[in-house]
């Protein structure tokens, strides 16, 4: 029984809970049991909140038993929350020593919305420290392992959330995406990950990496589940000035429409600069196969050009570290978090704490950003990078004149072995080549599984990009492609995930 519940999609599980076939507590317990069974190997979670989860599920059951309508379409469904969003009932560490054991006094807006929707928060998931990394190896608490192959990385920074889905430890998860941290792990683990339009989901309570790039979003094993979660967490928040004051796009409706399998009239743009050289063979093959699938569904596939995307990675690695250097200045041992009482002055304590509390990638980016913002360098680095950002936005605008959505492979390779790139930052950064432009432009994108690579049997992802607030068409295309792929495979993609074995 337990195993069955963990294999269901969120929508299916919600249906059973709301019809009282299964209780929310049973659903929570099944997933907690699964975590106990496999998380020693996977290490998707930094904290499992068993009591809080069961208490929350009990409230949902009581409410449903009393005949009250479910608080949301996902009431009672368990979820894994990335450890970058604040929670009053669980620690929030951001994968860093500097916040080890920190218990925030407030809930992030996303956390509050999940609670209000009756979703059961199982625990907090592992991540690269402060969301900086593409493999989850930069977590101060040890790497997460890919359920497809425990010797490999699950992507990052949101490797914990993606691995929890692929290991059937949760049917839903929340990630955050600054340069690809939702989409790249989704591709690496064969799951669905969505980076909403910048401002579409509140950042209040999201511990900042880079403020102008960070965006929380839904992670799931199906496009419909992601859409259901998207509608729960999206929407305007007066506590976040950069939050968009507009209705959440009707993504559930769009996903249901897409699943009917008709994409006639939809123009799909292949971004020339994001295809061709530099991709692993199986990644390229699966991308081409996906394009053929989309055409079969009636979509018109066109080629578009985005000439400035080639500068995206460089611009990103100036803007992101600049914001990081300022955002992470507050970790100074004065009010919360780690404190190394070494030295006679506040400055010495700050320096000793930051030396001990931050890992190598975080320090690297703080130093890069401090340099890029320095007097005399600002115009050449930060200033130029902002201009590139504008040019990339214009590239998107021009491309969306020709196509309703743009597509590319999500990541250049499948999951690589743990330890492979951890000492080669540039190689690590190249993972996000295709995902970064979307963050720079503030537009929306998702990654949907596009099969497994012939050469290594590991999953690949199809990235679908949409204009700002254009999520509906993106979900429609994603759901249509997913349905066609499942039909061809004869089963949902998740069913192909191998059993976790050490």
Partner 1 sequence: MTAPTLVDFDDVVDRYDPVLGLEVHVELSTNTKMFCGCPTAFGAEPNTQVCPTCLGLPGALPVVNRTAVESAIRIGLALNCDIAPWGRFARKNYFYPDMPKNFQTSQYDEPIAVNGHLDVTLEDGTVVRVEIERAHMEEDTGKSLHVGGATGRIHGAEYSLLDYNRAGVPLIEIVTKMIPDTGGRAPEVARAYVTALRDLIRSLGVSDVRMDQGSMRCDVNLSLSPKGSGILGTRSETKNVNSLRSVERAVRYEMSRHAGVLDAGEKVVQETRHFQEDTATTRSGRIKETSEDYRYFPEPDLVPIAPSAEWVEELRGTLPELPWERRARIQQEWNLSDAELRDLVNADALDLVAATVDAGAPSGDARSWWVSYLSQQANTRGVTLDALPITPAQLARVIELVTTGELNNKLARQVVDGVLEGEGEPDEVVAKRGLAVVSDDGALIAAVDEALAAQPDVAEKIRGGKVAAAGAIVGAVMKATKGQADAKRVRELIIERCGA
Binding site for partner 1 (CB under 8 A): 85-86, 92, 94, 99, 102, 104-106, 108, 203-208, 210-212, 238-242, 322-323, 325-326, 329-332, 334-336, 346-347, 350, 370, 373-375, 378, 382
- The CA distance from 443 to 124, in Å, is 27
For the question of residue 181 being annotated catalytic, the response is yes
Q: Extract the tokens encoding 224.
A: 């419909």
Q: Residues 34, 39, 41, 43: is their CA dihedral positive or negative? A: positive
Catalytic pick from 16, 82, 113, 195? 82
Catalytic pick from 181, 202, 447, 450? 181
Distance in Å, CB of 372 to partner 1, minimum: 9
DSSP 408-428: EESSSSSPPBTTSSTT-HHHH
For the question of residue 82 being annotated catalytic, the response is yes
- The CA distance from 290 to 394, in Å, is 27
Distance in Å, CB of 28 to partner 1, minimum: 26
How are strands ordered across the β-sheet holding 267-271? 45-48, 120-125, 78-82, 172-176, 216-220, 192-195, 444-452, 459-466, 405-409, 267-271, 300-304
For the question of residue 63 being annotated catalytic, the response is no
105 versus 490: smaller Cβ distance to partner 1? 105
Distance in Å, CB of 19 to partner 1, minimum: 37
Based on C-alpha coordinates, what's the Rg of the chain? 21
28 versus 85: smaller Cβ distance to partner 1? 85
Q: How distant is the alpha carbon of residue 111 from its chain centre?
A: 15
Distance in Å, CB of 104 to partner 1, minimum: 7
Catalytic pick from 157, 161, 325, 447? 157
305 versus 336: smaller Cβ distance to partner 1? 336
Distance in Å, CB of 100 to partner 1, minimum: 13
Give the Å distances, CA to CA, from 223 to 168, 176, 253.
16, 17, 12
Give the Å distances, CA to CA, from 220 to 137, 185, 189, 439, 468.
22, 12, 11, 20, 22
87 versus 146: smaller Cβ distance to partner 1? 87
- The CA distance from 121 to 256, in Å, is 26
96 versus 410: smaller Cβ distance to partner 1? 96
Return the active site residues.
82, 157, 181
């Amino acid at each position: 029984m337990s195993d069955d519940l963990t294999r269901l999609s969120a929508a299916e599980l919600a249906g059973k809970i709301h019809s009282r076939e299964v209780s929310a507590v049973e659903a929570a317990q099944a997933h907690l049991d699964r975590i106990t069974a496999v998380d020693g190997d996977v290490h998707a979670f930094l904290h499992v909140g068993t009591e809080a989860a069961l208490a929350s599920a009990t409230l949902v059951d009581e409410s449903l038993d009393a005949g009250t309508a479910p608080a949301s379409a996902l009431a009672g469904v368990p979820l894994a929350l990335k450890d970058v969003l604040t929670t009053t009932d669980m620690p929030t560490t951001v994968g860093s020593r500097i916040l080890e054991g920190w218990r925030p006094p407030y809930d992030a807006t996303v956390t509050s919305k999940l609670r209000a929707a009756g979703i059961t928060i199982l625990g907090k998931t592992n991540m690269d420290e402060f969301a900086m990394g593409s493999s989850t190896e930069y977590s101060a608490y040890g790497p997460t392992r890919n359920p497809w192959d425990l010797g490999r990385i699950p992507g990052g920074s949101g490797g914990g959330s993606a691995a929890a889905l692929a290991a059937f430890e949760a049917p839903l998860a929340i990630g955050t995406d600054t340069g690809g941290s939702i989409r790249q792990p989704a591709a690496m683990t064969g799951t669905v990950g969505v980076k909403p339009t910048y401002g579409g989901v509140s950042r209040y309570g999201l511990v900042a990496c880079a403020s102008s790039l960070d965006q929380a979003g839904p992670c799931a094993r199906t496009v419909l589940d992601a859409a259901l979660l998207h509608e729960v967490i999206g929407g305007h928040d007066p506590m976040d000035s950069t939050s968009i004051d507009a209705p959440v796009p009707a993504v559930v409706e769009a996903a249901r429409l897409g699943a009917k399998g008709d994409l006639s009239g939809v123009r799909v743009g292949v971004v020339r600069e994001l295809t061709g050289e530099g991709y692993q063979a199986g990644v390229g093959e699966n991308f081409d196969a996906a394009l053929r699938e989309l055409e079969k569904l009636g979509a018109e596939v066109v080629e578009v050009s985005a000439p400035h995307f080639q500068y995206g990675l460089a611009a990103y690695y100036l803007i992101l570290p600049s914001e990081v250097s300022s955002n992470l200045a507050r970790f100074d041992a004065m009010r919360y978090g780690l404190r190394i009482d070494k030295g006679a002055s506040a400055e010495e304590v700050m320096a000793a704490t930051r030396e001990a509390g931050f890992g190598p990638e975080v320090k690297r980016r703080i130093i890069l950003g401090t340099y890029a913002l320095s007097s005399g360098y600002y115009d050449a680095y930060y200033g130029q990078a902002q201009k590139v950002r504008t040019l990339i936005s214009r590239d998107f605008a021009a491309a969306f004149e020709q196509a309703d959505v743009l597509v590319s492979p999500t990541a250049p390779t499948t999951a690589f072995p743990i330890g492979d790139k951890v000492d080669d930052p540039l190689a690590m950064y190249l993972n996000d080549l295709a995902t970064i432009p979307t963050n720079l432009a503030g537009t929306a994108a998702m990654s949907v599984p596009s099969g497994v690579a012939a050469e290594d049997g590991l999953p690949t992802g199809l990235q679908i990009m949409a204009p700002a607030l254009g999520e509906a068409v993106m979900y429609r295309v994603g759901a249509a492609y997913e349905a066609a792929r499942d039909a061809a495979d004869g089963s949902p993609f998740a069913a192909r995930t191998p059993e976790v074995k050490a």
